[in-house]
Structure 1
Amino acid sequence: MPAHAFARSRLDELSHHQNLLLLQGPNGPFFKQVADRMRELGANVAKVNFNGGDSFFYRDSSSIRFDESIERWPAFLRLLIEERKIRAILLFGQCRPMHRVALSVAREMGVSVVVFEEGYVRPWWITMETGGVNHASQLASAVPAALPIYPQVQRPRQFRWAFTRMGWYSFLYFAAGLFGRRLYPHYEHHKPFRMAEMFRWLRSAYRKHLYRSMERDIIAPLLDTYGPDFFLVPLQISTDSQITHASGWKDNGAFIAATIRSFAAHACDSDLLVFKHHPLERGHSDYAAAIHATARQCGVAGRVLYIHDGHVPSLLKRSKGVVTINSTVGLQALYHGVPVCVTGSAFYARPGIVEDVGMDDFWQEHVEPNRKYFTRFYRYMMHTTQINASFYVTSSLRTPRREIGRGVLMRFAGAGAALLLFGSGEAPSFVERSVAWLTYALHGL
């Protein structure tokens, strides 16, 4: 079976639950597409919207607006499950407050919860697991030597412009959340709905091109076969639930400082330490000052580098090892046979794959993963939790003809409807209305 057909069949299996409830999905129209497909297969679908961004991307008669305080959410959800005879809940982002409540209520009422997440193997995959993902995944208790043997993973179907659309959909989501906040007065997003957040996404696009030219001379030696030895440290998003819920680190800053101090005290004098900024944080944060200050204090200023770009697989292949909190870059490293030091809780840190070695010892005692165990674990993970699709490229779930049918005029019509919806209550300013028209009119282009 071709990879794209297998992906479609995996998603189609959700219709067997018959009565589905969708909560928050990834930024963009993905959950709306899933709902449409489930209805084609005969399932009943309802969707709860919690903010203007949810409402903008899921405008449907089946949507239910929850505009009360989170204290009211458990009772609201229990009643909804009973009335609609819900058998499965679909959500993205298991650690969001309303989703943590949903997981608890679902366990209490015997309802399945299907959790979506960005692909463990990126960029051509998405994750779909029952019960939880990442540190809550069933993979976190897997014993590689005891797993069934699966065949080689087929070459995935690739999707153009996925990263660009993800940034654009995120911009639109925050714009809609900002202008629709009067309709959802009690909602608090994990990244506040403020005008500044929208412009951070624009700044991210600018910085991407800026750093690409600025860092070319820094990255080139790292990719050179005869270049210096180095350890790679992939940073995660500062608000990542993997840091706040699955590690002992307070934030990225604490992790960075501890890593530099450990490196300075225990690594070989000829080794370099390379911090790689997360691509989705370009417009939100910059750790240059903190990294350079700590490196100077520890006497390793010339041996610590900080980059924002660079082809990660190529950097991994050249590195001596990877130090991470629990980033899925660690999984990529293991795929390339690179030793990994995990300082948080990661589903892939299984016996025989990731050595139980502390950071101080890792610089000198890193051990390559057991290839046999990793291959068995990797193939099991790919066949049971990964789907070859994209949250952000609509053709991954729909035929291109249908996608083309969503024309520019429809987008402008949707823009007017959305602006009327989000402009209710106290009238937005002229600037707000102008930005709203621009963002909504360009939705999906």
Structure 2
Amino acid sequence: MSRHQNLLLLQGPNGPFFKLLADRLREFGASVTKINFNGGDSFFYRDSSAIRYRDSFEAWPAFLRLLIEERNIRAIVLFGQCRPMHQIALSLARETGVSVAVFEEGYVRPWWITMEIGGVNHASQLASVVPATLPIYPQVQRPRSFRWGFTRMAWYSFLYFAAGLFAHRLYPRYEHHKPFGSTEMFRWLRSAYRKHLYRSTEREIIASLLDTYGPDFFFVPLQISTDSQITHASNWKDNDAFIKATIRSFAAHACESDLLVFKHHPLERGHADYATAINASAEHCGVAGRVLYIHDGHVPSLLKRSKGVVTINSTVGLQALYHGVPVCVTGSAFYARPGIVEDVGMDDFWQEHVEPNRQYFTRFYRYMMHTTQINASFYVTSSLRAPRREFGPGVLMRFAGAGAAMLLFGSGEAPSFVEKSVAWLTYALHAL
């Protein structure tokens, strides 16, 4: 990216990744401009050079166009291509010939991140390749692993929403692409509680599914209800609609000995629960005893035991193909390529699931890994992993001080008792 010399960073993943990226790019001689849109952005990108965008969404296109011209921006870097601000940036970049580097969570997880030019997921260049014509790339090397990635991601998200909430008067016109209020912080706390709860309550169910002599089942990985992959790359309104249609199709066309297993997305554990919708649909379709709903479990192991996977366009489908498991894609997915994913509808899939062509998938997988995947973590870097003192008293004071300053001096109005309590709880929990 540094070859572009003049780069513009928009919103990145929750946490310090974009700040570290900017520092690294400057080491290579690039000029980097960063725009912060809310208190969460400013909290993790604390730099006097950063631009605070406080104007309206309607004024954004003109502001961005002028900035690109004034600073001779040659590349835009962002995370989350479907965010409204980013959609405008992508459109303007195409119009002005500016390159766009899009980051996303790894197509292969947990030790990879995705970076593509122009777009990711349904907008990826992978969505147009023909596996049979791809060159044969060498085997992918064993990746470096990163500990505590999910834990850090959860804490960074918690802090991001907390900072955004308490500094919202500094960015009065900002509208986040996801819920952005005090309830969001409590949902992350509830997520941590539920994680430990489900680990114990679902142990026997998962053990039976993983048993070699256990029941035959189809695996359905649910996606985050607000996922852009649902809203921008499928015909489904939401998860509820997908769940009802899947159960209805399963009841009418699957073998009577088969089970249907829905798995909740780990990042939505504290935000939603589909037990009522699943149980009601299963009861209505007469398959109440054949439909299960789990929140935990080792996904690769569950995939290997399953007869097939039904998904909207989750990257779990890619994992399934890696293990030779048939996949039914009901939305738009970059990996649904000829010879890899059969073009059959959900009703036929229960009886006509075909294993992916191993040769074609190997070509596609290695091409994808070499051209779009980076062995790294947004949330764990060498500068963040090593010093144990990061979690000492100094950090407590730093986070508490930043929170107090944002809350007490940045808003222009006196915060409520609840806001004060949540603020101090947030920063104290993180430091501890």
Query: What TM bracket, shorter-length normalisation?
Result: over 0.9
Aligned residue for 2:41?
Answer: 54
TM-score (norm 2): 0.97
Corresponding residue to 1:184 among 156, 167, 171? 171
Aligned residue for 2:397?
Answer: 412
Q: Is the 8 A contact 2:399 2:431 kept in 1?
A: no
Aligned residue for 1:154?
Answer: 141
Q: Which amino acid aligns with 1:319?
A: S
Aligned residue for 2:406?
Answer: 421
Aligned residue for 1:274?
Answer: 261
For structure 2, the 5+ residue unaligned runs are none
1:365 paired with 2:352, answer: yes
Large movers: runs of 4+ above 6 Å: none
Partners of 1:78 and 1:155 lie apart in 2 by: 43
Question: Once structures 1 and 2 are overlaid, which stretch shifts more, 430-439 or 321-330?
Answer: 430-439
Aligned residue for 1:355?
Answer: 342
What secondary structure is seen at the aligned counterpart in 2 of 1:71?
A: coil
Aligned residue for 2:214?
Answer: 227
Corresponding residue to 1:262 among 226, 234, 249? 249
Corresponding residue to 1:63 among 38, 50, 57? 50
Q: Is the 8 A contact 2:10 2:78 kept in 1?
A: yes
Q: Deviations over 1:194-230 (max 9, x none)?
A: 1111000000000001001111111111100111100
Aligned residue for 2:327?
Answer: 340
May I ask how many residue pairs the two structures share in their alignment? 430
Partners of 1:118 and 1:438 lie apart in 2 by: 29
1:137 paired with 2:133, answer: no
Describe how 1:28-427 pairs up with structure 2 within 5 A: 28-395=15-382, 398=383, 408-409=393-394, 412-423=397-408, 424=410, 425-427=412-414
Q: Is the 8 A contact 2:392 2:431 kept in 1?
A: no
Q: Deviations over 1:163-183 (max 9, x none)?
A: 011111111011011101101
Give the drift of 1:356.
0.1
Q: Deviations over 1:76-132 (max 9, x none)?
A: 101111111111111000000000000011111111010000000000000000000
Partners of 1:354 and 1:292 lie apart in 2 by: 30
Residue 103 to residue 334, structure 1, CA distance change in 2 (3 Å): same
Question: Once structures 1 and 2 are overlaid, which stretch shifts more, 93-102 or 184-193?
Answer: 184-193
Question: Once structures 1 and 2 are overlaid, which stretch shifts more, 359-368 or 409-418?
Answer: 409-418
Q: Is the 8 A contact 2:220 2:311 kept in 1?
A: yes
Q: Deviations over 1:278-330 (max 9, x none)?
A: 00111000000110111011110000000000100000000000000000000
Q: Deviations over 1:108-164 (max 9, x none)?
A: 111101000000000000000000000000000010011111100000000110001
Partners of 2:390 and 2:227 lie apart in 1 by: 36
TM-score (norm 1): 0.94
Superposition RMSD in Å: 1.5
Q: Which amino acid aligns with 1:178?
A: L
Give the drift of 1:439.
2.6
Give the drift of 1:417.
3.6
Q: Is the 8 A contact 2:7 2:32 kept in 1?
A: yes
Q: Which amino acid aligns with 2:406?
A: L
Residue 403 to residue 56, structure 1, CA distance change in 2 (3 Å): farther
Q: Deviations over 1:324-351 (max 9, x none)?
A: 0000000000000000000000000000
For structure 1, the 5+ residue unaligned runs are 1-13
